[in-house]
Structure 1
Amino acid sequence: MGTLRYLLASLVLLSHLGYSMAGLNPGVIAVVIFYLLAGHVVAGLWQKWQSQPAATTRFYADRLWRILPQYFCALLVAAVLWRAGAQSPFLLRSPGLFEWLANLLVIPLGYFMYTGFDSFVLVPPAWSLAVELQFYLVAPWLLGLSPRRLALVMLASLAVFAAAQLQWLDTDHFGYRLLPGVLFIFLAGGAMRQPRLHSILLAFWLLMAAYLLMLLMHGPAVPYNREVALGLVLGLPVLKVLRLARPTGVWKSLDRLLANLSYGVFVWHFPALWSLHVQPGAVRPVQATAVLALSSLLALVTHYVLERAVWTKVRRFERLSA
């Protein structure tokens, strides 16, 4: 699934450069599919570890070591660029203690709509990392539920999402950015590993496909109801197909390489565009290609120089501590 993840990260990058597709924001579609993938991956990890000693601690450590090394490295470089005079709508506020803590702790960035932290955020896509981290905090408990109770949790989250679609709640916030309204998306990705929930997933997919068709034909178009619905309609069957795919040879090697680069492209593309003095808006294809190339290069270097070194030391420490 590495090729898919790299493509999704590239779509997020393009959306932040101002690109759209048929009036839709490709980054939103990509983030929704990322939610599905995160739920799918986490469910697989938990199935493997849940019966082992200290499973919850091991799970949390795995997720933090996966997310934080590149994030903190990108955060440091972005801070240097900010001090050097980088210009961005995300660097408008003179930061105080709370702004720095929010950037370091990540999770507060997921509530920027209430705190205003988006006026000083060094890795702007980190709000969605905040949503993922919140899901990881509750994942061991949720994934330990029976299929029936897990389905009830999904329905409760879907009810929040439906209230947002009806505009009883803010559609952008509760239908895309806050965990109560998108928890069911993570769980849908994980439910693909539970055959007893497949019939529920099929019914959910049909419902979402009908909803998407209604939105495209009649509206209303409010941020970001069409993109979220499209991400779900596309993401579930794509994930199903990729579960059955078995890459071999060159494709397998390329897929693994792109998997290693995908997260880095996600966290590095703002430092990359600030380094290249690219301003979102009327960005030419050659500029977009340069930002993607630099983001990929930074991802490549930090993965092989930083992440792998950190993971090796962590595994060595775990063996010594066992």
Structure 2
Amino acid sequence: MGAYRLLLAILVAVSHMGKTFAGLNPGVVAVISFLIISGFVMTSLIERNYKAPQKIGLFYMDRALRLYPQFLFYFLASCAVIYCLLPGTPQAAELTLGNIAASLTMVPLGFYMFGLAGPLILPPAWSLGLEMCFYLVIPFLLIYKARGVAFVLSVAVFMTACLGFLNTDVYGYRLLPGVLFMFLCGSYLYKPQAKGLAIAAGTAVVAALMFAAIEAGLIERRPFNAEVTAGIALGIPAVYVLTKLKFHRVDEFLGDISYGVFLNHFVVMYFLRAFWPVAYDAHIVAAVLILSFGLSCVSYYSIERPALKLRHALRAGARFSVGKRRGGEKVA
């Protein structure tokens, strides 16, 4: 899935440079696939390493080691670029101690629409706040077998938002109650049984029908409801197919740099804006992406890889302690 994750990161970057496809924001479509992938990967991670109440804290440590190293690097880099090169801009106005402190804890970024953090410092990072909210609940949903109830409640919130009874953008795309079922579709794809596969497939079909209804004008088009439904309809089968492919080192490398590209493209855009405040034509888009790839390679090998070793040690310790406990039970 590495190449797919990099493609998604590119689509997010391109969307932030004002590009659309057939009137749709490609970044929103891509984010939905990221949510589905996250549901799949987190389920795999918990089932293999952390599926016990006493291991939930270790799971949170694992996730912090995954998200924070590169996030902190690029967030602080963005602060520096804005402060030095973009004074007097809306981005510079957000460089307050309160915004920076809240953003560094990550979770408030997912609630930026309520004024809890500054979204313009590193705009893509709002979705990391959403990810963190998912990480907080997914161990409990798996351990206590509550996915089904959570799925139904989340679909109810999403439908209410999609049809305009709640803010469509906030509750149908940004906040966990309305998108949890998208994460859970990915969760159901991990070692899928008939019921889980039927839930995921049925969700994709319904989403495709809703997208068609929105495009036909049968459902009113509201902020991102077309993109979200398209993302669900495309993302679920794509993730299902890609999880069946064999491991390949090139694919792994492309996946390794995808997170950096997702985070750093705005840092590059801010930097270039200070010197060449021009429209994002094909040459500027290509320049942003090339610089973003290069930075991501550097940050992955210098920042992410050391943290990866700690995560692997953490997981090995979790498996060892579980095996030791089970061994003790057998002896008893």
- State the TM-score, normalized to the length of structure 2: 0.88
Query: Deviation at 1:17?
Result: 0.4
Alpha-carbon displacement from aligned partner over 1:115-160 (angstroms, at most 9, x marks no partner): 1734x642111110000000001110012233xx422210100000
Pick from 296, 299, 313: which aligns with 2:296?
299
By how many angstroms is 1:42 displaced?
0.2
Equivalent position of 2:114 in the other structure? 114
Shift of 1:306: 1.4
| 1:176/1:309 CA distance change after superposition, 3 Å | same
What residue number does 1:138 align with?
A: 137
1:1-322 mapped onto 2 (5 Å cutoff): 1-51=1-51, 54-86=54-86, 91-115=91-115, 117-118=117-118, 121-146=120-145, 149-193=146-190, 194-195=192-193, 196-218=195-217, 219-247=219-247, 252-277=248-273, 282-312=279-309
Against the structure 1 CA distance between its residues 125 and 88, is the aligned structure 2 distance closer, same or farther, given a 3 Å change threshold? farther
Letter in 2 for 1:126: A
More deviation, 79-88/168-177: 79-88
Cα pair distance change 1:88/1:239, threshold 3 Å: farther
String of CA shifts for 1:48-92, please: whole Å, max 9, x gaps: 013569421221111111100000010121111112122696505
Q: What CA RMSD, in Å, does the superposition of the two structures yield over aligned residues?
A: 2.3
Q: TM-score, normalised by structure 1?
A: 0.91
Distance in 2 between residues matched to 1:172 and 1:51, nearest whole Å: 33
Moved more, 272-281 or 8-17: 272-281
Distance 1:156 1:90, change over 3 A: farther
Does the 8 Å CA contact 1:17/1:280 hold for their aligned counterparts? no
Kindly tell me: are residues 5 and 320 of structure 1, through their superposed partners in 2, closer, same or farther at Cα, counting changes over 3 Å? closer
Aligned counterparts of 2:157 and 2:50: Cα–Cα separation in 1: 29
Kindly tell me: are residues 268 and 87 of structure 1, through their superposed partners in 2, closer, same or farther at Cα, counting changes over 3 Å?
farther
Distance 2:155 2:86 in 1: 40
Q: Partners in 2 of 1:308 and 1:157 — Cα distance?
A: 35
The offset of 1:315, in angstroms, is 5.1
* Alignment size in residue pairs: 315
Of residues 32-41 and 48-57 in structure 1, the stretch that sits farther from structure 2 once superposed is 48-57
- After superposition, the Cα gap between the structure-2 partners of 1:89 and 1:45, relative to the gap in structure 1 and judged at 3 Å, is farther
Residue 49 of structure 1 aligns to which amino acid in structure 2?
N
The 3-state SS of whatever aligns with 2:100 is helix
Does the 8 A contact of 1:87 with 1:274 survive in 2? no
When structure 1 is superposed on structure 2, of 101-110 and 154-163 the one drifting more is 101-110
Q: Kindly provide the amino acid, as one letter, of the partner of residue 11 in structure 2.
A: L
* C-alpha displacement of 1:310: 2.9
Q: 2 CA distance for matches of 1:116 and 1:281?
A: 32
Residue identity matched to 1:44: S
Q: Which AA in structure 1 matches 2:262?
A: F
Q: Give the share of equivalent positions with the same residue, in percent.
A: 35
Inter-CA distance 136–280: structure 2 relative to 1 (3 Å threshold) = farther
User: Which blocks of at least 5 consecutive residues in structure 2 are unaligned?
Assistant: 322-332
Residue 10 of structure 2 contacts residue 261 of structure 2 at CA under 8 Å; is this kept in 1?
yes
Which residue of structure 1 aligns with residue 324 of structure 2? Answer: none
